[in-house]
Amino acid sequence: MCVSVTFIAIVDGAITTVALPAIARQFGLTTAALDGVVVVYPVCLAMTIPASAWLVERFGGKRVLLTALTAFLGSSLLCGMAADLAQLVAFRAVQGLSAGVLFPASAALLFATFNASDQVRISRYMIIPQQMAPAAAPILGGVLVDHLSWRWVFYVNVPVGLPVVVFGMLFLTEHRGRLPGRFDLPGLLLSAAGLGAAMFGISEGPSRGWSSVPVTVSLALGAILLAATVVHQLRATEPLLKLRLFADRLFRDTNLINLVGLIPILGAMYLGPLFLQQAQGRTALESGTSTFPEAFGVLLTVQVAGILYARVGPRIIVGCGLAGVSVVLLLFATCDEGTSLWTFRAYMFLLGIAMGGVFMPTTVASLANVARQDLAQASTLNTVVRQTGGALAPVAVTTALVLSTPAAAVADPPVTAYQYTYLALAAVAAATAAFAFTLPDARARAAARGATATSRPTATAAHHENAC
């Protein structure tokens, strides 16, 4: 069920872009005027993530997951029925609010159900929707828009999601963590406003310009509110976001790797289509089929990483994976106008092989020292970090392209600008790889081998490892 939920939510976040031209024609607008349809989803998603842990602890993972999924499907149906842009943006916002609960709730339920040794095996399956969904979304969206209607980009969620809801109602086991205290309303207001403002500024910066008033105000306001959120959460008796979990070195370091490491990884995925279509003049279909091999590389490596995890530990796997990403990005930096599609596809496959050593090990290792009653909180923080890293990736790419392009050619960057951007991403990946080799993963290896399969580490044990 968690696999299906993840696939549906990720596809919906990526598929809408394909339908924008058709939506613009239907409503008599320009494609640029539909920017809100795309931006409102990640903004609203970020706003509800902080509340997800409390909801899971208060009402149970099963109830929260099924309620959020039902709301997501209902809003998908309403998006397809929207009569104008205002309705579409409003219903799209509800989709984002629901998705913000779906991701951490499904992860908390999944990792609370299985012990540490099983989590490695389960994560090998969870990576499938995480990789296949972004690759399949543009192709699926193109088929639906061309042969049916842009409305089916949203309608398709309903027949796919309803069986998942029924299955969850019949077979999903309820799970509750510790009984939460009073709901931290000030914490929600601060974190939701801060994350929403920051996400808006990050999402709109590349298109509106980083010096534009809406972007600068949003980023400044987001920074202030997020700083206030940190102060409030550290002082609160029952915080909405348990930031003290970052005191554990393994949890903190794996999240830092996800935050920074996602920039070169997702940045390469964002830069590839731009290079193919703008620098080489390829079609959208050629671009889509050339970036798709990355998913197969990831799926291959994840299976190997799952087998090696308990033997060598996440430190070696993640470090080697990020080092591999850096090397492949250096290969991309050699591409020019004459590079063949098959060469580019081969590089994408190699990038996927390297990426496969990053996602699963960091996710499983981040929870190795987390007490079972704090899994919902840990999953929420993991989701916040991953969403932030994912939002920063296109920002880094766009900024590097602009800095590498002469002022007179900003609208059409030369090939050298793409090459310099790949080099910048390779440098970030190399630095993150060096940091990954310092991970304190003894407890994670022991848990994966089943040494702590029936119990979580005590505070003393966790402290001992962090001191190593």
- Whole-number Å distance between alpha carbons of 58 and 358: 32
Does the pLDDT of residue 226 top 80, yes or no? yes
CB 94 within 8 Å of CB 76: no
Q: What is the pLDDT of residue 431?
A: 94
Q: What is the pLDDT of residue 139?
A: 67
- Whole-number Å distance between alpha carbons of 11 and 138: 9
Helix, strand, coil tally for the chain in percent (to 5)? 80, 0, 20
Q: For residue 284, what pLDDT band results from cuts at 50, 70 and 90?
A: low
- For the chain, the first-to-last Cα distance in angstroms comes to 38
CB 389 within 8 Å of CB 259: yes
Say which DSSP state 32 is in.
G
- Whole-number Å distance between alpha carbons of 222 and 193: 7
How far is C-alpha 410 from the chain's CA centre? Answer: 29
- Whole-number Å distance between alpha carbons of 334 and 327: 12
**Closest by Cα among 133, 182, 169 to 10:** 133
The answer to which of 26-30, 337-341, 388-392 has the lowest mean pLDDT is 26-30
pTM of the predicted protein model: 0.72
**Closest by Cα among 386, 45, 48 to 189:** 48
Q: What is the pLDDT of residue 457?
A: 43
Read off the pLDDT of each residue in 404-425 and give the average, rounded to a whole number.
80
Does the pLDDT of residue 259 top 70, yes or no? yes
Residue 259: count of CB within 10 angstroms of its CB: 17
Helix 359-366 to helix 116-147 angle, to the nearest 10 degrees? 130
Which one-letter amino acid corresponds to residue 383? Answer: T
Q: What is the pLDDT of residue 332?
A: 94
Q: What is the pLDDT of residue 462?
A: 41
pLDDT one-digit tens code per residue, 76-131: 899 888 888 888 888 888 888 888 888 777 776 766 665 555 655 666 566 666 66
Q: What is the pLDDT of residue 459?
A: 39
Measured between alpha carbons, how far is residue 227 from residues 42, 170, 233, 251 in Å?
A: 20, 43, 10, 21
332 vs 281, higher pLDDT: 332
Name all domains of the chain by residue range, CATH numbers in brackets: 1-183 (1.20.1250.20), 186-239 (no CATH), 245-468 (1.20.1250.20)
Does the pLDDT of residue 467 top 50, yes or no? no
pLDDT one-digit tens code per residue, 29-65: 665 556 667 777 777 877 787 787 778 777 777 788 8
**Closest by Cα among 235, 238, 237, 239 to 191:** 239
Q: What is the pLDDT of residue 278?
A: 78
pLDDT one-digit tens code per residue, 185-202: 887 788 888 877 887 787
